[in-house]
Structure 1
Amino acid sequence: MSLLLTFSFLVIAVLLFWPGVGVVSRWREAKRRQARMRREDALKHILKSEVNGHLPTLHSVTGVLHISDDAAAEVLTAMERRKLISYTGGKLSLLESGRKLALHIVRAHRLWESYLAEETGVDEAQWHRLAEQKEHQLSPEEASDLEAKLGHPIMDPHGDVIPVLGGELDADEGQPLNTAPINKALEIVHIEDEPIAVYRQLLALGLRPAMRVCILAKESDFLTLWAEGQELALAPILANNIGILPIPEVKAADLLDEEYLSDLQIGEQARVLGLSATCRGAERRRLLDLGFVAGTMISVELPSPTGDSTAYIVRGTMIALRREQARMISIGQRVSVTESALSS
């Protein structure tokens, strides 16, 4: 009996304390990993705050890490001990080693989002969350390999500049949409991906960087936005998370006149002008491979009985697209097939 008890205690001790695989060992490793991720997230927040002219504070770190003030103070104290930051007189600033690590985390995050956008079919709403995890796992060498694989992208899917290795972080570009004047042509240059609930709403509305938009009207509790053939109502909290720049050479009326393949009716044909900025990755490559390239003439062949898709004739081939896909293809020179035949 005593031998059996001794053996049982040994088994329990092995399960609890065996280095690397025991419960206690794995718990300690998880705690170390969580502490490292919190330090790196805090560094990223301080760096972004500095380059955008904001003052990082204990309370702002608390909000970003979603922890208590006491826990955030412990994180900052550990960072100061590691000579990552200076935290004197309540003022946070990065030291050289902290700045280098923060730049790597931002770079890894934006590169991984670019990878998810261009090389995978992962849902767009998941890009930020997955990149938040992967940024803590990629080494500088792995990030550089990924950058080369992607063809050295300059911008991430949200319109943010990807810092080069050993470079600096640029400030966010543009002004908030809700500060822009009405009836002016604007380009979306940045969509903030936090808070995630606001970001998901912007995605659901179909808003993306590089889109050309104009504000039709402003009210106290919402603004009316024209975006690639759609009229959208945006609450101030949504508009504040969209960065825009004016397009001086384009008039708002020009945007209102833009047409899309989804507007084309039976008996009409038009010339493809290009694909929307909302069309990325595998879907963009597929549409280009199918012949939806600038200059191609397209005609409507047959809408589906349910109205959710339409068959088009592209270079002699019938291709069916869903309405949301057709909305990503801008067109011009829209005429009836009869008119086209007479003119030719």
Structure 2
Amino acid sequence: MIFCTRNVFGPENHDLNHGETSMTTFAICSLLVAVWLMLAVWAMQRGRRRYREQQDDALKLIASLKLENHVPTVSRLGGIMGQSPDRMMRIIDGLLEQHWVNLNDDRLSFTDTGRERALHLLRAHRLLETQMVYDAGMPLDQVHQHADRQEHRITQDQLDQLNEHLGFPAYDPHGDPIPAANALVTSTHSIPLSQWEIGKPATVVHVEDEPPSALRKVLAMGISPGQTITVTDRDEKRLTIQIDETQHTMSNTLALGVRVRDLAEQPSVMVVQPLSTLDVGQTGRIVAISSTCQGFQRRRLLDLGLTPGTLITAQFGNLGRSATAYKVRQTLIALRQEQAKQILIQDTSTIDTESKTLSHVI
């Protein structure tokens, strides 16, 4: 018997296998090149986005320095932002190219368009923080970084809608004034708690949001904007404070992040009280819903329109005042005494009417 065979490892199949191997290698190389190009494009886009965000951060910092009566300089911005001199100058060059700032020697000042952009960023940051705390119920020590990331992408229309949704709040949870679309209400004079005199009651007007670890310590002591606080003792490293009947000890470094002012002055932040204390016929502005009110009850109150900044008037109560009817945005709603205690308000008679605008300051 004769078998007809062919050399399966002959030249023809060797060429075929070689060709398939070459095609496979080419496909893998093409895929790797495509992935590399995608990563390169992504890295470039990410770098450009980060560069734009750093320009925004510089604008916001210039505005903050001016509001605190400090002269904004390139070297000062670089130190605060942690940027090298070369990187800081590249950021400033970008601001100059977009006609957002003027540079005189080392000093920086806004152009009209730069001032508008800085206003937008401050407004976005503070409204976002307000929404995160009062609407979403996020802890105060977590909102700053989230707002930092989102403030660069939100539009003017979105800000206006958010402002309306929140009820046009006047201040953010840290006590900072929230600007309108074209002007910022600024706080009046205040000093760090570390410099406040012993035995004299003060009103907290601002709590610094960075670093978060320091903010958490301050909040744990019950310190918040509008709170009355008294320094009872101090030495070189620490001071003792009293809030209501409770005393706390804090370092002077921590106290630098809490700014206070005299109780005798008109408050630039809201001195809060429960809605249940409002007499019939009186009007208040909602500051917040107590953090002890969570879940369905909190959402229910928000759905009724009881959002920060909203005006509310006590219309009439039933016998014994176990419930009261309140007027909110031309609508009457009834709240039980326990519910009204969960809503914090500012009496409209205490609202500060002596304010400056950002355009006068920056």
TM-score (norm 1): 0.70
Which residue of 283, 286, 302 corresponds with 2:292?
Answer: 283
What is the Cα-based RMSD across aligned positions, in Å?
3.4
1:10-62 deviations in whole A, cap 9, x for unaligned?
22232233xxxx21111111001100110000100001111221012223222
2:177–2:184 Cα contact (<8 Å) kept: no
1:123–1:316 distance in 2 versus 1, CA, 3 Å: closer
Structure possessing the higher radius of gyration over alpha carbons = 2
Question: Match of 1:90?
Answer: 106
- Return the alpha-carbon distance in structure 2 between the equivalents of residues 33 and 2 of structure 1: 40
Which residue of 7, 10, 13 corresponds with 2:33?
Answer: 13
- Return the alpha-carbon distance in structure 2 between the equivalents of residues 25 and 287 of structure 1: 45
* Residue 183 of structure 2 corresponds to residue 183 of structure 1: no
- Return the alpha-carbon distance in structure 2 between the equivalents of residues 230 and 108 of structure 1: 36
Q: Select between 91-100 and 143-152 the one with higher mean Cα deviation.
A: 91-100
Deviation at 1:289, TM superposition (A): 8.8
Deviation at 1:149, TM superposition (A): 0.5
* Residue 175 of structure 2 corresponds to residue 155 of structure 1: no
1:211–1:228 Cα contact (<8 Å) kept: no
Deviation at 1:73, TM superposition (A): 1.7
- Residue 15 of structure 1 aligns to which amino acid in structure 2? V
- Residue 27 of structure 2 aligns to which amino acid in structure 1? F
* Residue 190 of structure 2 corresponds to residue 170 of structure 1: no
1:214–1:136 distance in 2 versus 1, CA, 3 Å: same
1:84–1:99 Cα contact (<8 Å) kept: yes
1:232-266 deviations in whole A, cap 9, x for unaligned?
112222222211122239xxxxxxxxxxxxxxxxx
Question: Match of 1:339?
Answer: none
Question: Match of 1:218?
Answer: 234
2:141–2:209 Cα contact (<8 Å) kept: no
Q: Structure 2 matches for 1:264-303, cutoff 5 A?
A: 280=289, 283-284=292-293, 286=297
Q: How many residues align?
A: 275
2:75–2:106 Cα contact (<8 Å) kept: no
- Residue 144 of structure 2 aligns to which amino acid in structure 1? H
2:56–2:121 Cα contact (<8 Å) kept: yes
1:288–1:4 distance in 2 versus 1, CA, 3 Å: closer
SS in structure 2 opposite 1:136?
coil
For structure 1, the residue ranges without an aligned partner over 5 or more in a row are 250-271, 298-314, 318-325, 329-344
- Residue 23 of structure 1 aligns to which amino acid in structure 2? L
Deviation at 1:284, TM superposition (A): 4.2
For structure 2, the residue ranges without an aligned partner over 5 or more in a row are 1-20, 266-275, 279-285, 302-319, 323-335, 345-362
Question: Match of 1:3?
Answer: 23
SS in structure 1 opposite 2:292?
helix
SS in structure 2 opposite 1:234?
strand
TM-score (norm 2): 0.67
- Residue 283 of structure 1 aligns to which amino acid in structure 2? T
1:210–1:65 distance in 2 versus 1, CA, 3 Å: same
1:160–1:172 Cα contact (<8 Å) kept: no
1:289–1:122 distance in 2 versus 1, CA, 3 Å: closer
1:120–1:281 Cα contact (<8 Å) kept: no
1:116–1:127 Cα contact (<8 Å) kept: yes
- Residue 153 of structure 2 aligns to which amino acid in structure 1? Q
1:282–1:201 distance in 2 versus 1, CA, 3 Å: closer
1:144–1:196 distance in 2 versus 1, CA, 3 Å: same
Deviation at 1:209, TM superposition (A): 0.7
1:26–1:296 distance in 2 versus 1, CA, 3 Å: farther
1:143-177 deviations in whole A, cap 9, x for unaligned?
11111100000000000100000113625652222
- Return the alpha-carbon distance in structure 2 between the equivalents of residues 45 and 165 of structure 1: 19
1:269-321 deviations in whole A, cap 9, x for unaligned?
xxx869xx99745634759999xxxx989xxxxxxxxxxxxxxxxx999xxxx
1:174–1:189 Cα contact (<8 Å) kept: yes
2:72–2:108 Cα contact (<8 Å) kept: yes
Question: Match of 1:124?
Answer: 140
Question: Match of 2:155?
Answer: 139
Deviation at 1:6, TM superposition (A): 2.5
- Residue 151 of structure 1 aligns to which amino acid in structure 2? G
- Return the alpha-carbon distance in structure 1 between the equivalents of residues 68 and 102 of structure 2: 19
1:179-210 deviations in whole A, cap 9, x for unaligned?
22222221111112133343232123221111
Q: Structure 2 matches for 1:314-333, cutoff 5 A?
A: none
